[in-house]
Structure 1
Amino acid sequence: MNAIKEIYKEIDLNIDSVKLKGNLRLADNSKGIIIFSHGSGSSRLSIRNNYVAGLLLNMGFSSLLFDLLTTKEDLIYENRFNIKLLSERLAKVTKWVRSNKETKHLSICYFGASTGAASALTAASMSDDRYIKAIVSRGGRPDLALGILDKVKTPTLLLVGEKDKAVIELNKLAKAKITGICELKIIKGASHLFEEYGKLEIVAKLSGDWFNKYI
């Protein structure tokens, strides 16, 4: 298989009165763009999300990883769990992707981790269905968005590690509330962070298949 050519850019996203840092990876002949919504205390520099983004690049997907909070905002611990704020940021960054000349032609999907899954689902519920094609949650907390899950129509894949017992139950609870297409897959031998050998590769493969199916 030939390596996918990419253009990598560090960008500033001016959202309302704040400037958010982002890393944009554009795949040659891209199938679509995956916007990452990070978990509590994480950022565009997340090792795991960048690794998954790299694997998705090899499948032909562009990606945008960005900081949902500024450095100053992140110092306030409560902001990391402010799903309303994080969802609004994600929705506004999505509008930027839809208007940016390099990305406006691309289909959009979300990849959420931990609390980022709740903001991805919430942002999707705030958007016109046609704009967000699919959502993947990795070790996510979709239960933090229980109040809006019945409004989520975007096809959603919930990925949870077999050892992450508490989060499995929370994902089952969320799945029961989502009225659109939703699947829950338990990754054998994986813990919450999918640190075990080969588990993130499985996450990327399942995610790529999901995005391909609905893009």
Structure 2
Amino acid sequence: MQNEGDMTWKDISIDTSDGALLSGLWVQPADAQAVIVLVSVTSEGLHSATNQLLAETLARAGYASLFTDLLTAHEHREDAELADLRYDIGLLTTRLSNVIDWGRKEIPDAPVGILAASTGAAAALSVAAERSDEVAAVVSRGGRPDLAGDTLRATHTPTLLLLGGEDSPLVDLNREAAAWLRGEYRLEIIPGASGFSGNNPSHVEELARRAGEWFATYLVSESS
């Protein structure tokens, strides 16, 4: 995957503290002062058209972008049968923290933004609570922040909750979770969208635009 100009995505591997080896993609534009971690926990992962568009949009905006899958290929096969690993928020949180460590070694002291979907959103908010001095902004897209549980009460990081208008049960869960957040948050609904699966490019572009604006507000101020 490549961006316009000379920016080229590099295939990377990240060792986690529990012994897994995660696959990822990394791009570091010139003069990047912030890192955005894009989190996948689905089997389509790095090959999702939605995820690729989001990653490319953020990289073009000048952010160092780290795109990773929090589960290995073997774990996805297991999870397809048992649906257990995607809901292991403790495991996902630890691995996401390891991923952030990798990115901050590349750009020390850079503020971090996290863009996460599905159950990865709960891990993102949990990491934000643990590392509030490093994680400057979170965007959840079609996520399950409610699965972060009591950790929401300790999360002060500015958080944008993006949802599709057709995902009404998910909207209710997000509203309930947002009430527990202690920092600034916004819940936005993109009319007509459902799950941001990439079936409608205009919905994905709108998602990318809103996420980019959120990161521009909080990461630029942190890094300037």
Give the TM-score normalised by the residue count of structure 1: 0.91
Residue correspondence of structure 1 range 89-128 to structure 2 within 5 A: 89-100=95-106, 103-127=107-131
- Other-structure match for 2:222: none
Structure 2 residues not aligned, in runs of 5+: 220-224
- Using the alignment, how far apart are the partners of 2:35 and 2:139 within structure 1? 13
Identical amino acids, percent of aligned pairs: 34
Query: How far does the alpha carbon of each residue in 1:85-117 deviate from its partner, in whole angstroms, 9 at most, with x for none?
Result: 0111001111121223xx325321000111111
- Other-structure match for 2:68: 66
Give the TM-score normalised by the residue count of structure 2: 0.87
Q: Describe the shift of the 1:131–1:124 C-alpha distance in structure 2 as closer, same or farther (beyond 3 A).
A: same
The answer to whether the 8 Å contact 1:40/1:81 transfers is no
Q: How many residues align?
A: 210
- Other-structure match for 1:54: 56
The answer to whether structure 1 residue 174 and structure 2 residue 177 are counterparts is: yes
Could you tell me which of 189, 192, 196 is aligned with 2:192?
189
Secondary structure of 2:143's counterpart equals: coil
The answer to whether the 8 Å contact 2:14/2:23 transfers is yes
Q: How far is the alpha carbon of 1:193 from its aligned partner?
A: 2.2
Could you tell me which of 73, 89, 103 is aligned with 1:83?
89
- Using the alignment, how far apart are the partners of 1:189 and 1:74 within structure 2? 29
- Other-structure match for 2:158: 155
- Using the alignment, how far apart are the partners of 1:105 and 1:73 within structure 2? 32
Question: What amino acid is aligned across from residue 209 of structure 1 in structure 2?
Answer: E
- Using the alignment, how far apart are the partners of 2:187 and 2:6 within structure 1? 32
- Using the alignment, how far apart are the partners of 2:201 and 2:71 within structure 1? 31
Q: Describe the shift of the 1:177–1:72 C-alpha distance in structure 2 as closer, same or farther (beyond 3 A).
A: same
Question: What amino acid is aligned across from residue 153 of structure 2 in structure 1?
Answer: D
Question: What amino acid is aligned across from residue 13 of structure 2 in structure 1?
Answer: D
85-94 vs 18-27, which deviates more?
Answer: 18-27
* 4+ aligned runs moved over 4 Å, structure 1: none
